[in-house]
Every structure is written in C-alpha cells, then in structure tokens.
Amino acid sequence: MLGVVHKLDVAGQEIRQHLTNVSQRLSLKKEFFPIPDINVLHAAPDSCIYASQSRSHDVADQQIEAALEGYRCKCSFQLVPASFFTKSRINSEKASLHKEDITILSLDDLVYSVREHGDIIPLRSGIFSPANRRIRRAMACVMECLNTKRPVSNHQNRWEDGIDRYHFQKLRKNLTSVTFVSSWGDGMRESMITKGKEEWSGDCHATLHFGPPGLLSTPSDTNEELNWKEEAQRICDQSNLTSLTGRSRGVKFVVFNSNSTEFGHRERGNDDCVVHDDLWITMRNREPVPEVFSVSLVPPVEKLSQVNVKVQYRKSSVAFQHPNAGVMLTSLQWILNTLSQLARDSVSCNSEELSALEKPRLLELYCGCGAHTIPIAKSSILSQIVAVELDERLVTACRNNCILNDCLYEEGKARSETDCYVTKVSVVKEDAAVWAKNTLMSNNKQNTATAQSHSIGEYFTSFDILLVDPPRDGLDKAVCDLALKGRFQHIIYVSCGRSALLRDLDILCIGGFDVAALAVIDLFPGTDAVESLVHLRRRL
Ligand SMILES: C[S@@+](CC[C@H](N)C(=O)[O-])C[C@H]1O[C@@H](n2cnc3c(N)ncnc32)[C@H](O)[C@@H]1O
C-alpha cells in the first residue's frame, strides 16, 4: 500500500517526466514547452461534507463515526453465510472469519464479503472503512435486520436452528449481494432538520440482488410479492434507507422509506431512484467575473464580502456519480478557479467590462449528471455551455438538474434580467467521438447551414474552452482531433486513468498545446488511483 504523499509524488513525477520527453521531442522543432510544477491537492475535509456532528450515544455508532476515513458513496458486497467461512478449504487468514465474529455469528448468519484476487474475504465486524458515514451506518442496520432471529420460547437466550428462525425469511431467500449508493454529503435538508431527525438526512439507497430462481419463486405470485414488500418496508424503515430495491432477472420491486415518499425520489423521465445533494459555491467579486473561494456540501456562513450560490443535484442511483465526495469538491474548486482565471484574463485583455455573451464559451464532453456543469453555469463565469453525455440516464439527470437550477438553454427563449448571473446549458445526448467527428465534418464542409442535427452547426463549433472528464480509457482519437482542430484556446482535462492521460497529453502537446497547470489528488486512499487535473493552453 502506498503512502499518500509518496503516491501523489510518484504520479506527478511520472506525468512531468512524460511531459519532459514530449518537450525534448518538440525542442527539435524549436518549440518552447515549459513544464509546470505539480500541485498536490487534498480531498476536501469532512467539515465540507458533513453538516451534522455525531450526537449518537450508541457506542457502536460512535465507533463507526470515529473512523472518518470513509469516502466511498457507492459500495457493493456479497452476502455470504458464516458457514461458508468455516469450511476447511479456506486456508488464508484473510479469507477466514475473525475470531470475534466467530463467537457471535450463527452458521446461517449473513456476512458482508468482498471478492479479492478470486478469494471471498469477509469484512471484519461487518465494517467497510472506505465507505462513507452514511453507508457504514446503513450497512450495520441492514445486517442487524437480516441476522435477527426469533428466540425459542423454552430456551430464553438461545436461537432455534434452521433458516426459518430469521425474521426476514422471504427477503433472505436467494439473496446474494447488496449495493449501497448514498449522497455525497449527509444532506441535512431543512425539512428533515425541523423534524429533528439528523440521522435520516442524506439519501442512501440499497439494492438487494437475488440469484436463481430469483426474487419470487413463482413468477407473478402476488402473495409472495406482498410478503416480500412487507419485509423490505420494515428493513428500509429500520435501517433509515431512502429506498430498498429488490432485483433478480426480469423482476424489480422498490419500497420507499415511510417517512419520505416516492415523490422526489424517482427520476423524471425514467424509473431510477434519485440521490439528492446540495452544494454551495462561495465567491467574491461577482462582476465582471467571480472568483471562487470554496465549494462545500455544508451551507457556508453568510458574509457581506461573499456571495453564496446554491446548487441542487438529483442523481440517478444506478448511473455514474463521483464516488469520492472530497475529491469531487476539490476538483470542482480547481476547475472553477481555473475557468474564472481564464475569464478574468480575457476581461483584462479587453480592458472593458465583459457582457455575459462575451465571456468564454465552453464545450464539455463526458458531462455525466452535470456535477461540474451546473456549478460552472451557476457561477456565471462563462457565456454558454454545451454539455455532451452518452448515457441516457445521465443525460436525463443532467437536463433535470439544469431545470432544477434554472440554467437549461431553451431555444427561442429570450434571456431575462436575472439570466446574467447564470450561464445557460444545452445538454446533448451523443457519443463524444461521434460529436467530435460530426463537428469536424461540418467544419470541413464549411456548410453549417445544411447541418442535419442539433449537434452540428456554427453555433456549436466556436468554443473557447474544452472541458473533458472521460472514463479511465481516456479520449477517443476523434475528440483529440477536435481539440486540436477546433478553436479552443484552453483544455481542462480531468483524468482518472493515468496511462490514457499520458497517451492523450502526447497527442495534445505535440499537436500544439502547452501544459499550463497540473494537479493530482488521492482518488481512492489505500489504492494507487489518482485523479489528475490538467490545464492545457494553445501554444502561441
Ligand atoms: C468519469 S465520468 C465523468 C462524469 C462527470 N464529469 C462527473 O464528474 O460526474 C465519465 C462520463 O463519461 C460518460 N461517457 C463514457 N463514454 C462516453 C462517450 N463515448 N461519449 C460521451 N460520454 C461518455 C460516462 O457515462 C460518464 O458519465
């Protein structure tokens, strides 16, 4: 396991070394290519993520809360009977139950387990420390429910033998694994605070997966369905889950917490459960271009010298969301400040106050649910954003988030006075590579008037800045082509895949961009995953 500082140093040096090699190749062509220092950034602290402090008197809860190193907003576990781990074929210590667990578990009790190099590893005391606080709490409650048994009347403190003794028998049948997805923060939405239920705030959706023969032993057995739902409802409520879904091949049931409602927890446009988050951007100097101080999931203290802008997210629980809230906040702050600096530079170049429409225009590829898009729009740094995403569920979420935050571009709709504080966003469902090819083709033909789709045309081709946050495999070649041949003066590249980033930097730097700034963050502590942030500027 690598130490954080060492790991980030190694990652940064690897990128710098790579750029040095590229620079040497370019120097043969007498092109000047300075290499920037590496900025090692840290994930935002818990105070930016959790609004509530621990008020629990429960020792187990306090222990869970004390281990605040957790960060993951999505975790999946196999649910394996304890008896599996007592079999003689288990030879490694890691793949055995911890001795404290052996003393308290019955053979049929379920154990959270993870797969590691082909082995099934039980979680000690059922705790997965990388999970965030919301998920760790839910995990403990769900497991307590699943393993609760009925006492036998004639042996007060002993359990009956056999599967039948468990409270949640219907739900345990064929159960193989579970996935938890939570909000980035603990939410603390106002309605919940007024009800005095801190522990309910922040969404946590759980999905139980069932192996063959599935969730219902007889398909469309309404009685069995009712029994299942009744048990699921009790677990959902007792575990403070927002929703509990059961899934097996071709069958899906969802129950919502009795204290919340389905309303607001289903995505408009599809059937997915929704994860809510609120985020605040703190800025100063709103005119002509704001400077960003911080981003936080906790409401900031109001100060006269600052402007606080609130962003609301509704994210699909089954599609991509950044898995580490602290890293997401730090990256977002870096992106906002970099964009703000670029916009301010362009103001000083023009030495006049910029009107909204003269601010830089941004093309964002791989926008997801709008995690970056919406804060950029709401901080009014730019004049226009076009955001492209392939996954239908995320396109829907991004559009809905634009509507929720009043920043969706609507063709033919005149800008209102308040619009000068919000950049309008067009959300397009398209493969980034196809988008890039079409745009280049349309440019080559120089015939934008004959453009056949919304994705082509002069309106979409004259962007100043390109923001990309691709999957680990990096950019498609067509996207690199567009980056080089388009009119972009700047590229902001957010990367979670280092080797693909190095490959793409090769192409972009050789093709005419310098690296102006470089930052790295520990993406998943305890692994070698790093999030890299790169600002490329077109060489003069
Ligand atoms: C690393 S995620 C970043 C998402 C977003 N920026 C965020 O922070 O939530 C990469 C995104 O690219 C999308 N994606 C993957 N392949 C794509 C493609 N060929 N064209 C467009 N989007 C794609 C994925 O669906 C995912 O939302």
Please name which of 284, 278, 285, 221 lies closest in space to residue 251, comparing C-alpha atoms.
Answer: 221
Distance 452 CA to ligand 1 centre (A): 25
SS3 199: helix
Candidates 75, 141, 273, 496; catalytic one: 496
User: CA-to-CA distance for 511 and 505, rounded, in angstroms?
Assistant: 9
Which among 1-15, 140-154, 519-533 has the top mean pLDDT? Answer: 519-533
429 lines ligand 1 (CB under 6 A): no
Please name which of 364, 306, 303, 368 lies closest in space to residue 335, comparing C-alpha atoms.
Answer: 364
- Does residue 496 have an active-site annotation? yes
Confidence check: pLDDT of 400 > 50: yes
Confidence check: pLDDT of 426 > 90: yes
Q: What pLDDT does 438 receive?
A: 92
Confidence check: pLDDT of 22 > 60: yes
Q: Is 476 annotated as a binding residue?
A: no
Confidence check: pLDDT of 302 > 80: yes
Q: Half-sphere exposure of 87 toward its Cβ, with a 13 Å CA cutoff?
A: 8
428 lines ligand 1 (CB under 6 A): no
**CB-CB neighbours of 208 under 10 Å:** 25
pLDDT digits (tens, 9 = 90+) for 321-330: 999 999 999 9
Q: What pLDDT does 162 receive?
A: 67
478 lines ligand 1 (CB under 6 A): no
pTM: 0.89
Distance 408 CA to ligand 1 centre (A): 19
Confidence check: pLDDT of 237 > 50: yes
Q: What pLDDT does 456 receive?
A: 40
Query: What amino acid occupies position 432?
Result: A
Please name which of 242, 383, 247, 254 lies closest in space to residue 315, comparing C-alpha atoms.
Answer: 242
Confidence check: pLDDT of 540 > 90: no
Task: Give this complex's ipTM.
Answer: 0.99
When pLDDT is cut at 50, 70 and 90, the band that residue 232 belongs to is very high
Q: What pLDDT does 454 receive?
A: 45
Q: What pLDDT does 441 receive?
A: 87
Which is higher by pLDDT, 138 or 215?
A: 138
Q: Is 366 annotated as a binding residue?
A: yes
When pLDDT is cut at 50, 70 and 90, the band that residue 138 belongs to is very high
Q: DSSP letters along 87-120, please?
A: STT--SSTTS--HHHHHH--TT-EEEEEEETTEE
Q: What pLDDT does 198 receive?
A: 46
Residue 437: enclosing H or E segment and its boundaries? Answer: helix 432-445
pLDDT digits (tens, 9 = 90+) for 25-76: 887 777 767 889 999 998 888 778 877 654 455 555 555 554 456 899 999 9
Which is higher by pLDDT, 453 or 15?
A: 15
Q: What pLDDT does 182 receive?
A: 95
Token duo for residue 328: 């997401």
Q: What pLDDT does 447 receive?
A: 47
Confidence check: pLDDT of 452 > 50: no
Closest atom, ligand 1, to C-alpha of 470: 10
Which among 213-222, 285-294, 372-381, 452-461 has the top mean pLDDT? Answer: 372-381
Residue whose Cα lies nearest atom 5 of ligand 1: it is: 368
367 lines ligand 1 (CB under 6 A): yes
Token duo for residue 390: 């392939």
List, in sequence order, every residue forming a beta bridge with 316; answer none if it has no partner. 274
When pLDDT is cut at 50, 70 and 90, the band that residue 94 belongs to is confident
Q: Is 421 annotated as a binding residue?
A: no
**CA torsion, ordered 25, 26, 28, 31, to nearest 10 deg:** -160
When pLDDT is cut at 50, 70 and 90, the band that residue 453 belongs to is very low
When pLDDT is averaged across residues 126-140 and rounded to a whole number, the result is: 92
315 lines ligand 1 (CB under 6 A): no
Confidence check: pLDDT of 83 > 80: yes
Give the domains, in start order, of the chain with CATH numbers: 74-256 (2.40.50.1070)
Token duo for residue 77: 């576990």
Which is higher by pLDDT, 434 or 28?
A: 434
When pLDDT is cut at 50, 70 and 90, the band that residue 314 belongs to is very high
When pLDDT is averaged across residues 341-351 and rounded to a whole number, the result is: 73
Mean pLDDT estimate for the chain? 84
pLDDT digits (tens, 9 = 90+) for 151-181: 766 555 544 456 778 999 889 999 999 999 9
Confidence check: pLDDT of 460 > 90: no
Distance 470 CA to ligand 1 centre (A): 5
When pLDDT is cut at 50, 70 and 90, the band that residue 535 belongs to is very high
CA-CA distances (angstroms) from residue 530 to 6, 14, 22, 100, 527? Answer: 12, 12, 22, 35, 9
When pLDDT is averaged across residues 90-116 and rounded to a whole number, the result is: 86
Residue whose Cα lies nearest atom 19 of ligand 1: it is: 431
246 lines ligand 1 (CB under 6 A): no
Share of the chain above pLDDT 70, in %: 80
pLDDT digits (tens, 9 = 90+) for 190-214: 444 445 444 446 899 999 999 988 8
